Structures are given as structure tokens and as C-alpha cells.
Chains A and B, each alone.
Chain A
């Protein structure tokens, strides 16, 4: 299985509701990043959280990191139609001394009008 796995694989919610996606990983990390991908487009970086941080905010996004459980969550509050996209977590392994990150397979989020 992969280093980073998102859960759920797909999520449909009503506009205005909050969306929560989770990411679990296996090997100790230096940092964890979340990306968004709209259909037919490249990935866009949303937020980076380092292993010594527990929570970060950016606008309507809130990311938490629990290194003891090797898991992270991405919360999107007050969802909008424009939030419909796939969301990926990516981990940078602590053991690595280079610039690589490993992507999970993503959560497909669909915001219903």
C-alpha cells in the first residue's frame, strides 16, 4: 500500500456544508502538503504543514497533523461549488535529503448545489 492514502476516495456534500478529508501515512515525515486538482488541470498547492506543527489555517482551509497517529486532515469550511475537485496529500519522508514528495491517490470532492 502507499505511503499516503486519502480517505474517503469520494465525497459529495451540499454547498455550505463542511468537507473533511483524511490522509494516513506509514513512514515518518518531514512535512505534509495538500494539493487540489481541478478537472483537466495540474495540481495546485494549498498548504504545507511541518512535522513539528499540529494545525495550520489558510482562509477556509484548516489542516491538522497528528504524527503519533501518522495522519492528517483537511477541513474545508462553508463549501462552494468551486471547491469541487480532487484533493491530494503528499508526504516528504524524514529520511530523505532531497526534494521529493509522494502523492496519495486523492479524494474526489463534489459540492452539490
Chain B
């Protein structure tokens, strides 16, 4: 089975440039999560989609960050304009949320995009 697929694996760009990170969740999963991981702050939830609809974007740092999920098999996280403090590893994860009695099923993570903003 294919797991969660993220691209690119590495991105190096200059500040001010637009960055787009991509994620393909596991087929059949209906929840998708974008996380950011840094040494200082650990793993932070940025945004969470369920059935392609954004449910909670309270973790999105500021208006420079945006995320979309146009269909069940694809999501993007965009940073425009990028800044050096956005340097981190960005993870996408997916899971299958059944109902309240079966919520919080295991999340399946991609291998992340290591982003460096110079």
C-alpha cells in the first residue's frame, strides 16, 4: 500500500519567494493534517481537514500561510512570501475518522518536506 506522499522532500529558496508543499493522503482516508516540526517548538498542528473541508486552521501562523484540499487525494500548503523563520520540516498526515466513538484513529505520516528559507 502506498503511504502518504509528500513533495518535494527538500526545498531551498530565498526569502520572499512563494513555496508550495504538496501532499497525497492514503486513499480512503478522510482526515488530513499539516504539521510543522522544529527543534524549538516541536510538532505543531497547522491545519486539519475532514472530508476536504478545513475544520481547524487556528495553528496557521499568519496570513502568509494558506492550505487547500481541492479533492480527497490532494492537498497543498502554500507560504507567500516566505521568511527565514519558516524554515522547518513540514509533515502531512492522514487518518480515517469514523465517528465520535472511533475518533482519533492512528495518523499516517509522510516523510516530510525539509524547507530552508535563506
Contacts and interface: CB of A to CB of B under 8 A. Distances in A.
Nearest to B96: A99
Contact of A103 (B31, B42, B100, B104): B42
Contacts of A88: 43
A99 B103 contact: yes
Nearest to B92: A42
Interface of A: 2, 30-31, 33, 40-45, 48, 88, 92, 97-106
B43 A98 contact: no
Interface of B: 4, 31, 33, 35, 42-43, 45, 48, 50, 55-56, 91, 93, 95, 97, 100, 103-112
A104 B106 contact: no
A92 B42 contact: no
Contacts, number: 60
A43 B103 contact: no
Q: Which 8 A-B pairs have the closest CB atoms?
A: A42-B109, A45-B106, A105-B42, A92-B104, A103-B43, A99-B97, A43-B109, A99-B31
Nearest to A43: B109
A48 B111 contact: no
A98 B95 CA distance: 12
A106 B56 CA distance: 24
